Structure formats: C-alpha cells, structure tokens
C-alpha cells in the first residue's frame, strides 16, 4: 500500500519500458486524434528532413502519458491522485528507440487534508539521453 | 501544389481507426491547413468556448488505453473499482489529449494545434474532477502567451475543461512551437512551392 506517511524521499517509482514502432505511433494518433503528419507520415518526414533526421517522431503527448502512467501504476489503486504535471520534452523520440520512463519522490508536503508529494519524472532512450524531464504533484492517502 | 498525406500513412491510419469519433475525424491535417489560426493572427486574451462537446464513450477510453498499453484496472474494471476510493472506473489523466483534439475541430480558435510540423516542447496541466464514461466535456480556451525564443515561435493557450455538471476537470497550459510560416516545412522540399 502506498501511504503518504510511509513514502520516503529519493524513493524510486516502478519503471516502465516501451519500444517505439511506427504502428505504435499511428495507433496513438488514432486514439488521441493527433494526426500531425510529423508523427504519422514517414514519406513527408523524409521529404522535409524533419529536425534534420528525416524520420517521424513519437507524440510528445504519448511520452507525457507514459510518464503519468508511472504515477498511476504506482498509487492509483491505493487512492493516490495526480494533482498536476509540468513536463518538458527535450529530445525527439524515433521509431526503433527503447524508452525508459522513471520517477522518484523528491518532496513531501504534509497537509491537514490532501497531503501531497512531488515526484521527479524523466524518460531516457537506449543511449542514456534524457528525452523528457518534469515534475508531478501527487495526492496520497 | 497541395501537400497530401502519403498513401503509406493513410493505409496505416485506416488500419487502426476504430471508434465512431475516429472514423468521422479528418485525419489529413493538410486538408484544412488554410483554415487553422496562425501564430501571427493570435491576439493574447482571445477567448472562446469550444463549439463541440466530447461525450465520453467506453470505446473512446478503451482505444486510448490500448494505444498507450495501459492495463491498470482502475481505468476499466467495474468490479475492481468498487473496493477502491474511485467507486467506478475513471479515464486515465492524459485522455485529455483526445478530448482536446476533438474539441478544436477544424476552425475553432485552438485549431493551430493541428498545424503540420508543430513541435510539442512540454505541457503543464492541473487535474481536478476525474473524467468518466458518460461525461460530457467542453472547454474554454484563452490565448495566454506568445513569444519568440532562439528564433522559434511559441504559443500557449490556457484551457479549462469542465464536465456536464459544471465541475472543473482540468486546467491546461498548452504550448506548441509553430513553423515560421504555414508552408515553412514544405519550402524545404525542392520544387514544391505554394
């Protein structure tokens, strides 16, 4: 059980790993309705030499979703709840990448009602490059 | 010359279109590109309610969970949820993305989010009332900030999402980097000018 009183600073949250394919990106496009050609059209991405790579990129919203899954997997069953997220996407994610989504507790804010903690969130690719960084505030029971 | 989505891209999209909303949504963002509001046309303070609403259906949430490989019972298992603080399933927090794209449609004030080549630099969101199947969500959008940093054009909208009861669902400071001009990306393609 995840409890505010028992959570410790620097405590890691369970990591999520995902492999990126064009199928996965297009599937997310359909589910999120974000059909930007930057994500779904390899032919166009090659033509415009997108970001100098000429390849489609995964949705930033997919990355943000996976980072929030680090939180929801960790504490939602026990009644934890996201208060806010502030995430920066700092490096593009391409087909073929394997991304790790991670989090750790960095602050605790005890309150009479609705105590919450701060979770540092980040994602990195197979080369150890950070692709996203941010922070989430999470209410814990 | 009009840029179109490639056949290869269309084929793959068609394979994964499942829900009613997905099937009626215009997935070729080049088609209405002329109608999208441009960075230079945005006046800070411009405000509007979404013309459309998002009726949350089970198939919408299911498709989102599948695409994000999310197997948490909190988001789908009625029985399981009875013994939790949630009582019944909720939509995952970032399902808000689907709602956002549905609500902007083709010509609404936030239509710039569909600009081909727009880049997502990161997002800030506050969550309030959870979203559930059966909810009807609408949004109030306000042009919040625009600026140029290292030669790139940033645009931020502040969006409040509310449900059918009038409860606040989320506040989202949505930022994108927009291409310099609409056809900026295409100018790089040799021989293609519009």
Res B193 pLDDT > 70: no
Name which of B9, B73, B186 is nearest A43 (Cβ-Cβ).
B9
Q: Which two tokens stand for residue B105?
A: 């449609």
Report d(CA A136, CA A121) in Å as an integer.
7
Note whether A55 contacts B: Cβ–Cβ < 8 A.
Answer: no
Report d(CA B101, CA B93) in Å as an integer.
15
Note whether A59 contacts B: Cβ–Cβ < 8 A.
Answer: yes
Q: What is the pLDDT of residues A50-94, one digit of tens each?
A: 888 889 999 999 999 999 999 999 999 999 999 999 999 999 999
Q: Which two tokens stand for residue B180?
A: 């310099």
A79–B21 C-beta distance less than 8 A:
no
Look at residues A58, A35, A57, A38 and name the one whose alpha carbon lies nearest to residue A48. A38
Report d(CA A81, CA B15) in Å as an integer.
34
Q: Which two tokens stand for residue B190?
A: 């040799």
Instruction: Please enumerate in sequence order all residues whose Cβ is within 8 A of that of B64, keeping only pairs 6 or more positions apart, or say none.
Output: A31, A32, B70, B91, B92, B95, B98
Which residue range(s) make up the domain with A118?
4-139
Report d(CA A88, CA B87) in Å as an integer.
33
What is the reported pLDDT for B186?
Answer: 52
Res B3 pLDDT > 90: no
Q: Is the ipTM of this complex over 0.90?
A: yes
SS (H, E, C) chain B: CCCCCCHHHHHHHHHHCCCHHHHHCCCCCCCCHHHCCCHHHCCCCCEEECCCCEECCHHHHHHHHHHCCCCCHHHCCHHHHHCCCCCCCCCCHHHHHHHHHHHHCCCCCCHHHHCCCCECCEEEEEECCCCCCCCEEEEEEEEEEEEEECCEEEEEEEEEEECCCCCEEEEEEEEEEECCCCCCCHHHCCCCCC
Q: Which two tokens stand for residue A68?
A: 């929030």
Q: Which two tokens stand for residue B114?
A: 């569909």
**B107: confidence class by pLDDT, cuts 50, 70, 90:** low
Q: How far is B45 from chain A (nearest CA, A)?
A: 23
Report d(CA A133, CA A64) in Å as an integer.
10
Q: How far is A1 from chain B (nearest CA, A)?
A: 12
Count of domains for chain A: 1
**A125: confidence class by pLDDT, cuts 50, 70, 90:** very high
B85–A141 C-beta distance less than 8 A:
yes
Whole-number CA gyration radius for chain A: 17
**Which class would CATH give B7-188?**
alpha beta
Res B194 pLDDT > 50: no
* CATH number for the domain that contains residue A82: 3.10.129.10
Which residues on chain B are in Cβ contact (under 8 Å) with A32? 64, 67, 97-98, 101
Which residues on chain A are in Cβ contact (under 8 Å) with B68? 28, 31, 62, 65-66, 69
- Pairing status of strand B47-49 against strand B168-178: unpaired
B12–A87 C-beta distance less than 8 A:
no
Note whether A77 contacts B: Cβ–Cβ < 8 A.
Answer: yes
Minimum CA–CA partner of B124 in chain A: A86
Contact status, residue B53 vs residue B138, Cβ threshold 8 Å: yes
Q: Count CA atoms closer than 13 A to B102's CA, side-chain side.
A: 25
Which residues on chain B are in Cβ contact (under 8 Å) with A35? 13, 25, 27-29, 114
> Which is more confident, B113 or A28?
A28
Minimum CA–CA partner of B122 in chain A: A88
**B191: confidence class by pLDDT, cuts 50, 70, 90:** very low
- Pairing status of strand B54-55 against strand A81-89: unpaired
> For B39-53, B70-84, B132-146, which range has the lowest pLDDT when averaged over its residues?
B39-53
Rounded mean pLDDT of B151-175?
96
Minimum CA–CA partner of A70 in chain B: B70
């Amino acid at each position: 059980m995840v409890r505010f009183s028992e959570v410790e600073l620097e405590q890691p949250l369970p990591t999520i790993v995902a492999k990126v394919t064009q199928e996965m990106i297009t599937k997310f496009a359909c589910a999120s309705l974000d059909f930007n050609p930057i994500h779904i059209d390899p032919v166009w991405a090659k033509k415009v030499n997108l970001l100098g790579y000429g390849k489609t990129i995964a949705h930033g919203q997919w990355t943000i979703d996976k980072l929030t899954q680090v939180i929801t997997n960790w504490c939602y069953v026990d009644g934890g709840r996201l208060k806010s997220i502030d995430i920066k996407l700092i490096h593009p994610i391409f087909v073929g990448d394997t991304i790790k989504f991670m989090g750790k507790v960095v602050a605790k804010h005890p309150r009479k009602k609705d105590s919450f903690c701060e979770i540092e969130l980040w994602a990195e690719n197979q080369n150890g490059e950070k692709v996203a960084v941010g922070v989430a505030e999470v209410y814990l029971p | 010359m009009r840029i179109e989505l490639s056949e290869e891209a269309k084929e793959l999209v068609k394979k994964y279109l499942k829900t009613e909303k997905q099937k009626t949504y215009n997935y070729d963002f080049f088609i209405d590109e002329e109608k999208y509001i441009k960075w230079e046309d945005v006046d800070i303070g411009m405000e509007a309610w979404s013309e459309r609403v998002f009726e949350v259906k089970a198939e919408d949430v299911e498709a989102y969970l599948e695409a994000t490989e999310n197997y948490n019972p909190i988001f789908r298992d009625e029985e399981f949820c009875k013994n939790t603080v949630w009582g019944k399933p909720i939509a995952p927090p970032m399902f808000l993305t689907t709602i956002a794209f549905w609500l902007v449609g083709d010509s609404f004030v936030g239509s710039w989010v569909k600009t081909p080549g727009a880049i997502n630099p990161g997002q800030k969101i506050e969550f309030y009332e959870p979203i559930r199947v059966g909810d009807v969500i609408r949004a109030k959008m306000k042009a919040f900030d625009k600026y140029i940093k290292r030669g790139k054009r940033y645009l931020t909208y502040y969006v409040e999402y509310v449900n059918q009861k009038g409860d606040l669902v989320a506040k989202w400071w949505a930022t994108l980097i927009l291409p310099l001009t609409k056809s900026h990306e295409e100018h790089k393609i040799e021989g293609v000018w519009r």
